[in-house]
Structure 1
Amino acid sequence: MIELLLTSFPAIFRYYQLKRRGEAMTVWNMRTAVFLWAFLAFLLFVTIFYFHPKSYSGLLPYRTVSIVAQTSGPVTEVAVRNMQRVSVGDLLFRIENNTQKAALKQAEAEFDKITAAAAKASDTLKVAEASVAVSSASLDKLKGDLENAQALVARNSGTREAVRLAESSFAIGEANLASAQAQQSLAQAEISQTIPAQRKAAEAALESAKVALGMTEVRSFTDGVVTQLAMSTGSPASTLILSPAMVIIPDRPNDLPLRITAGFPQVARSALYEGMPAEISCDTNIGLSFSNTVLPARVRHIQPAIATGQIVPGGQLIDLSQRVTRGSLLVYLELEHKDQEKIMVDGTGCIVQTYTNDLGGFTGHLIAATGVVKAVGLRLKVWGALIAGIGLAGGGH
């Protein structure tokens, strides 16, 4: 409509020309003016729609966090309500934990057994060390007796029988010393290897028991608002992601820019570019005052692939003729003014209007100026949606 008004000057000029001459206006004498009007309107229409693409599929996407239990059992406490704000680490609900507590006590009892075993091994080592000392002293005495018996035989004062008895006693003393030393080594190995290994195993079992007990308390991993809470005390805790206990709508990260996504026709790829100026109007921002209704933005990224062309391996060969639906070109936009991000509502639908301004010369400036038509059309669309009580995309009540 606006294009027709802007290009109607040949017909208007011809009308006043005929009126000044006193000639009647007919189809025949208006044919050139009407043809020129149609040609200019078509040229302006093509220029505007090609160089200033518009998308009705703008969206502020967001993700939700599904809350499920890590272990099964009846719920003993629900610590939150619908629409309650939670922070990281806040308790959401508890699950019956008698089994986990018993396992934790058993793991803790293992430490008492290991402590007692360590004390016993220490006492055993002391006994073994004392036994080694006694056996060593006894062996020294038996060695002296053997040497005395051998000396007496050498002086023909002793008997061979006494020497054999002394040798036998000395051998027994060596065996006793070796046995005592073996007991000492065994006690040392118990203290340096067996007890530490048992302690590490007990620590692992204790940590596992603590983790199992911790799983009975479900806490929030994000800041956000609880919604779709459909459980109560006594309800069985679900561990299935498709059947969550509740859903949390997380807060927007402060360190990440808010990005609006929009799907453009694939033929608009040649006109779109990163850094391209744009305007965004969203359903949730429309107001009578028109304040913060049309927001300046800029194209930041253009996805280098069309989603519908993605091929997923499966058990059947893909027939491309069945993929008749053409996908859209996904474009990411950011608002020019960061303070306007707080008025945006997650999930809202938007109209995205882009404007080409990267062409040089007189023609480039003329093409950029035609974006005013699109800007006016966007505002008229917003007013029409407000007055009619429907959404910007034409849907509503």
Structure 2
Amino acid sequence: MKKYILTALIVIVAVIFVVIKYWDHITNPWTRNGQVMASVVQITPRVTGPIVELPIRSNQFVMAGDLLFKIDPRTYEVSLAKARANLDATGYDLISLEEQIKSAKASLDEARANVEKVNTSLKQAESQLYTDKREYERQKVLLPKGSTSQKQVDRSRTAYEVSEQNYEGAKASLTKAKASVRQAEASLAKARANLGQVGEDNAKLRTAIANLQQAELNLEFTEVRAPVDGFVTNLLLRKGSNAAANHAALALVDVNSYWIDAYFKETSVGKIM
């Protein structure tokens, strides 16, 4: 009898234990299928060159902004100096081109004024030619009548011929003056085309400024700093080795990005605290 009672007690205790464990599993779900995860930030240099400073080691903790490694800056310092010199030279070239435009404008104004002057001379020569021609014609009519002398006729003919030469010379001068205006206009157009847009919108100036900014950025990129707080991993560099642009050199495990991936039954999700 005692044997059956003991067996029954053991069974009851076992059942109670199973019920308790099952209830605990239902009300406090857990799993062995879980992983702690974190974001990994790949550190990729923006420029190429040999490593001259490497103050970190694998698994070292670094703060955002800490120097991870430094690429030899000398090449990029030279490029920056060249970009600055090029910007200065571009500025001087633009000043020179602006002076050329002013000179071309002055030459054009002078050529146009000369056209007006020559045109006036042409009108005067034309008027004088008309007068001398009429006088010559008049003298020729008067000669047979004895109202003038041959000497006077010859004199009027000479005056007419001189006026005719002056008129032809004035026409040639006007043609030449107009050609000078066209040449001055072409020179002004060429000077304006060489200069381009005036001021900050000038293409040559914008290009020189952009090259300078790029050179400044490239020099800044020789110092590679941590973008986040984290642990160094996958460190592939050594001091003196060559860092290649756009190729990952190491990685940082972001300490502010940890999360847990775990497997739970869908019916248990609501009970997870």
Match of 2:228 among 212, 222, 226: 222
With 81-90 and 58-67 compared, the bigger mean Cα shift is at 81-90
Does residue 100 of structure 1 match 2:106? no
Partner residue, 1:205: 211
CA-CA distance at 1:227 after TM superposition = 6.4
Match of 1:65 among 31, 41, 61: 41
1:271 aligns with 2:268: yes
- What are the within-5 Å matches in structure 2 for residues 368-387 of structure 1? none
Alpha-carbon distance between aligned partners in 2 of 1:39 and 1:225, rounded to the nearest angstrom: 50
Give a deviation string over 1:168-213, Cα, whole Å, max 9, x none. 2112111111211222232233334399211222222222222332
Tell me: higher relative CO, structure 1 or 2? Use CA pairs within 8 A at least 6 residues apart. 2
Q: Secondary structure at the match of 1:56?
A: coil
Distance in 1 between residues matched to 2:12 and 2:226, nearest whole Å: 67
- Say which SS state the counterpart of residue 105 (structure 2) adopts: helix
TM-score (ref. length: structure 2): 0.70
- Aligned residue number for residue 176 of structure 1: 180
Q: In the TM superposition, what whole-angstrom CA distance separates every residue of 1:225-278 from its partner, at most 9, and x where no partner exists?
A: 55676755323336643x52xx5444437xxxx7544322xxx212322xx4x5
Pick the structure with more helix per residue: 2
Identity value in percent: 24
Indicate how the Cα distance of structure 1 residues 164 and 238 shifts in structure 2: closer, same or farther if over 3 A, else same.
Answer: closer
**Mapped contact 2:38–2:259 kept (Cα < 8 A):** no
Deviation at 1:163, TM superposition (A): 2.6
- AA paired with 2:269? L
Q: 1:35 to 1:219 in 2, by over 3 A?
A: closer
Written as runs of structure 1 = structure 2, the 5 A alignment for 1:1-397 is 24-27=1-4, 46-80=22-56, 86-157=62-133, 158=160, 159-193=163-197, 196-224=202-230, 226=232, 231-237=237-243, 240-241=247-248, 244=250, 247-252=251-256, 259-264=259-264, 268-273=265-270, 276=271, 278=272, 298=273
Which structure 2 residue ranges, 5 or more long, are not aligned? 134-159
Change (3 A) 1:78 1:32: closer
Letter of the 2:215 partner, please give it.
Answer: A
1:370-397 residue CA offsets vs partner (Å, 9 max, x unmatched): xxxxxxxxxxxxxxxxxxxxxxxxxxxx
Distance change in 2, residues 1:234/1:39 (3 Å): closer
1:294-318 superposed Cα distances (whole Å, 9 cap, x missing partner): xxxx3xxxxxxxxxxxxxxxxxxxx
Structure 2 CA distance for aligned equivalents of residues 86 and 45 of structure 1: 45
Give structure 1 stretches of 5+ with no counterpart: 1-23, 279-297, 299-397
TM-score, normalisation: structure 1: 0.51
Q: What per-residue deviation string (whole Å, max 9, x for no partner) do you get for residues 109-140 of structure 1? A: 32233122112212212221221222122112
CA deviations over 1:15-56 (Å, ceiling 9, x no partner): xxxxxxxxx2344x7888777777666655544434542223
